[in-house]
Structure 1
Amino acid sequence: MSTTDSLMQLASRIDINPGEKGSPPIHNWHPQRVLDIDLKIDHQGQWLHKGAPFLRTSLVRLFSTLLRKEPDGCYYLITPAEKVRVQVAEVPFLIIAAAVEEQGTNQQIRLETNVSDQLLLDADHPLWVETLADGEPRPYVRVRDQLDARILPQVFYQLVDLAESVQVNQQTCLQLRSAGHTFLLGCFD
């Protein structure tokens, strides 16, 4: 059975069990066979096969649960028998929404990815901000394992509105609280 057939067989489970929860146990799968079938995730989170976008969101959702970043720094779709290399332009996911679940000192912020993963901004899912060469902030969050998401600008602005100003080393910084943890969004003079 080819890799494409194997992945399509796994994808068929979505149609049979659309309400199924959880992720496949890819941490237990260590296939030796590696295939390249021209799979890519672009900067906008669009999944492509041989340059053509995936049209079925259920297939993208399934494939996202099979994704793993290996110690070689490459991304792969993992099956029990083989792994398929996926070229990722930046990070595999995007944060498309944020919601405050509790406010005040117990504030909790829930984030949603472009593949419908939900996560609480906390110690297991930290937020960090990198600064681009042009000075623009580029915020990220850990989704699971070694898989990260870029936070879309409109969501980042929402998080900035929730942040509080604090003084750090004679600079004013924006700090966001969620689930008992603080995350630095940036500093300015």
Structure 2
Amino acid sequence: MSVDNLLQAARANQRGPAPVHLWNPPFCGDMDMRIARDGTWYYLGTPIGRHSMVQLFSRIIRRDGEQYFLVTPVEKVGIRVDDAPFVAVDMQAEGEGKTQVLRFVTHVGDEVTANAEHPIRVVIDQKSGEPAPYILVRDNLEALIHRNLFYRLVAMAEEQSINGEQWLVVFSSGQCFPIGPLPS
């Protein structure tokens, strides 16, 4: 599969993500393409400098199990993703407390509201104790929430008891999202 074929398929869906969940083309092998933890896309070890190309590729990405693919109606190629394919780089908060609504924007322009269909989850690294916060963007594709946004979430968080333990939680669209346990 060539990069030109991928770009052509992505351009056909310039108004948003392609319906990759409907496509079941044959697997054509892996491509030397990688998405770094900071959201930088690499092709043949070199960063893709054109943001418009990254946006186009982001429309045809799919996750099957733990593997990521770029998918067209006729071809499917594997790519490497270091953490999550997207990074949430902006957030708007409307309201406060339990009536609050949190809207995120990714580095490729996806907009998503945290709610039951697009939950926020936080994974705590067992060795370092560092939190890694995510929001589901679409079709089991997540965005890593940028550290600055996570600090904003912590600042607006409330304490709440969950299963007898104290947690920091944020609310959005009527949903409660635990973002970290409090020390006992």
Deviation, 1:59, is: 1.0
1:26 aligned to 2:20? yes
Deviation, 1:115, is: 0.9
- Which residue matches 2:134? 140
| TM-score normalised by L of structure 2 | 0.90
- Which residue matches 2:70? 77
CA distance in 2 between partners of 1:7 and 1:134 (Å): 38
- Which residue matches 2:181? 187
CA distance in 2 between partners of 1:171 and 1:4 (Å): 50
- Which residue matches 1:37? 31
1:153 aligned to 2:152? no
- Which residue matches 2:110? 117
- Which residue matches 2:4? 5
Change (3 A) 1:25 1:12: closer
| Equivalent residue runs for 1:80-91 within 5 Å | 80-91=73-84
CA distance in 1 between partners of 2:143 and 2:80 (Å): 15
| TM-score normalised by L of structure 1 | 0.88
Residue 50 of structure 2, aligned match among 51, 56, 79:
56
Offset from partner CA, 1:51-75 (integer Å, 9 cap, x none): 011111111111111000113x210
Change (3 A) 1:53 1:154: same
CA distance in 2 between partners of 1:90 and 1:22 (Å): 22
Where 1:154 maps in the other structure, the secondary structure is helix
Given that 2:122 and 2:131 are in contact with CA atoms closer than 8 Å, whether structure 1 keeps it comes out as: yes
Gap runs ≥5 in structure 1: 15-19
Gap runs ≥5 in structure 2: none
Deviation, 1:8, is: 3.1
Deviation, 1:21, is: 2.4
Given that 1:35 and 1:82 are in contact with CA atoms closer than 8 Å, whether structure 2 keeps it comes out as: no
User: AA paired with 2:6?
Assistant: L
- Which residue matches 1:126? 119
Deviation, 1:4, is: 2.2
Given that 1:128 and 1:141 are in contact with CA atoms closer than 8 Å, whether structure 2 keeps it comes out as: yes
1:164 aligned to 2:163? no
Given that 1:172 and 1:187 are in contact with CA atoms closer than 8 Å, whether structure 2 keeps it comes out as: yes
User: AA paired with 2:109?
Assistant: S
Sequence identity of aligned pairs in percent? 37
CA distance in 2 between partners of 1:63 and 1:26 (Å): 12
Deviation, 1:170, is: 4.9
CA distance in 1 between partners of 2:132 and 2:2 (Å): 35
